[in-house]
């Protein structure tokens, strides 16, 4: 069974059920019927969007989170980069387990590799937008001189 741990050490199980498919489609735009098809990227897009990723994780683990007494906000606050990567791997493992019957292991493995590559690409795009946003925010109104040319403060 697919599992991941949050930064606080709480372990969650990720298991895809038929009951979750509608919520994933409605709330995250993910149609898991297409997750293993070539060119499908709704899952990769959701993984690359932190808000959709949080919604997806709530759909997949919300009942466990509520039993632990956490709110959705408290739950997603437990995700750092390592947790994100582990949770993403758990999602793919759960998808492969769910579709184990109708797909061959080789096909599912290729789809997982492609999906992880797309998710990584989407995360790179998100990170680049964040960096550009921060750079423009902090450089607005500053002089054109580099920080190296700024004199050091005196003692």
The span from the first CA to the last CA of the chain, in angstroms, equals 60
Does some domain include residue 146? no
Among 9-13, 56-60, 85-89, 95-99, the minimum mean pLDDT is found in 95-99
Name the 3-class secondary structure at 14.
strand
**Maximum Cα interatomic distance, the chain, rounded to a whole number of Å:** 71
For 58-71, the pLDDT digits (tens) are: 999 999 999 999 99
Does some domain include residue 153? no
CB burial of residue 89 (10 Å; 0-12, 13-18, 19+)? middle
**Is the pLDDT assigned to residue 138 strictly greater than 60?**
no
Does some domain include residue 41? yes
Domain that holds residue 99: 2-136
**Is the pLDDT assigned to residue 47 strictly greater than 70?**
yes
pLDDT band at 146 (very low <50, low <70, confident <90, very high): very low
Between 137 and 144, the higher pLDDT residue? 137
> Could you tell me if 41 and 35 are in contact, meaning their C-beta atoms sit under 8 angstroms apart?
no
pLDDT value at residue 97: 85
Does some domain include residue 26? yes
Alpha carbon distance 107, 104 (integer Å): 5
Does some domain include residue 150? no
Alpha carbon distance 21, 11 (integer Å): 23
Report the percentage of the chain scoring pLDDT > 70: 63
Number of domains in the chain: 1
pLDDT band at 1 (very low <50, low <70, confident <90, very high): confident
| Contacts with 91 (C-beta within 8 Å, 6 or more apart), sequence order | 2, 14, 43, 47, 56, 60
């Amino acid at each position: 069974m697919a599992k991941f741990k949050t930064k606080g050490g709480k372990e969650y199980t990720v298991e895809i059920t038929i009951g979750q498919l509608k919520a994933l489609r409605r709330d995250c735009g993910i149609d898991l019927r297409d997750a293993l098809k070539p060119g499908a990227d709704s899952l990769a897009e959701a993984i690359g969007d932190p808000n959709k990723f949080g919604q997806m994780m709530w759909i997949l683990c919300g009942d466990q989170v509520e039993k632990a007494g956490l709110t959705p906000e408290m739950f997603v606050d437990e995700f750092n980069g390592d947790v994100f990567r582990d949770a993403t791997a758990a999602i793919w493992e759960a998808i492969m387990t769910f579709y184990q019957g109708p797909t061959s292991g080789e096909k599912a493995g290729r789809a997982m590799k492609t999906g992880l590559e797309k998710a990584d690409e989407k995360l790179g795009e998100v990170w680049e937008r964040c960096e550009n946003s921060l750079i423009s925010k902090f450089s607005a109104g500053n002089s054109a001189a580099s920080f190296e040319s700024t004199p050091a403060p005196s003692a």
